[in-house]
Amino acid sequence: MRKIEMTSLQIRRLTYAALYLALAMVLPFVTGQIPEIGSALCPMHIPALLCGFMCGWPWGLAVGFIAPLLRSVLFGMPALFPGAVAMAFELAVYGGMAGFLRRKLPRRKGMLYAVLLISMIAGRLVWGAVRVILAGLSGSSFTWALFLAGAVTNAVPGIILQLVLIPVLVAAMERAGLSLNRN
């Protein structure tokens, strides 16, 4: 049997990813204290995006996929079907796209926002597609109005928070040398 060796970089990525996953478990408790907009702040989206940006696409994808499912099993929120299942695909795309595009595109000032916007749009489109599939499987419907409400209208506070907070955090962590999104 071959001995598995982990490099220091792999161990650091695993540790960071575990911290982002833990953050995804805890943040909804914090934002849930603001009943009017708590869930609209999309608290689990932030750790998935940050994990992608900081650890790379495989880690962001994994944390994004696992977070809503694990939170559903542990705490009952979001509801497993269809909520957590659709969110798992959405957040996987968030983390995966953020990590992949951040690594592949030039690290100029505006590119951070471009990567964030592309990741957010792709994730929301995947969420909508998965909701349509799940609605078909369960015999219910998922309309264009429901998509717009779930992906845009109800999520405006979270979208604004992500557009303001993520670039600031990513830039600060990259300046501090905390980004592990490299070879």
Percentage of the chain exceeding pLDDT 70: 95
The alpha carbon torsion through 150, 156, 160, 166 (nearest 10 deg) reads -10
Q: Which CATH architecture describes the domain 8-175?
A: Orthogonal Bundle (1.10)
pLDDT digit string, tens, across residues 89-147: 999 999 999 999 999 998 887 899 999 999 999 999 999 999 999 998 888 888 888 88
Q: Is the dihedral of CA 105, 174, 12, 92 positive or negative?
A: negative
Per-residue model confidence (pLDDT) at position 2: 57
Task: Report d(CA 13, CA 113) in Å as an integer.
Answer: 23
Mean pLDDT of the chain: 91
Question: Is residue 62 scored above 80 in pLDDT?
Answer: yes
Average pLDDT over residues 46-60: 97
> How many CB atoms are closer than 10 A to CB 103?
17
Higher pLDDT, 152 or 101: 101
Q: Are 112 and 172 in contact (CB under 8 A)?
A: no
Domain residue ranges in the chain: 8-175
Helix residue spans in the chain (DSSP H):
8-31, 45-55, 57-75, 85-104, 109-138, 144-151, 156-175
The first and second tokens of residue 99, run together, are 């990590």
Lowest mean pLDDT among 62-71, 121-130, 150-159, 171-180: 150-159
Per-residue model confidence (pLDDT) at position 35: 66
Per-residue model confidence (pLDDT) at position 55: 96
Contact partners, residue 120, CB within 8 Å, separation at least 6: 94, 159, 162
The first and second tokens of residue 73, run together, are 């099993």
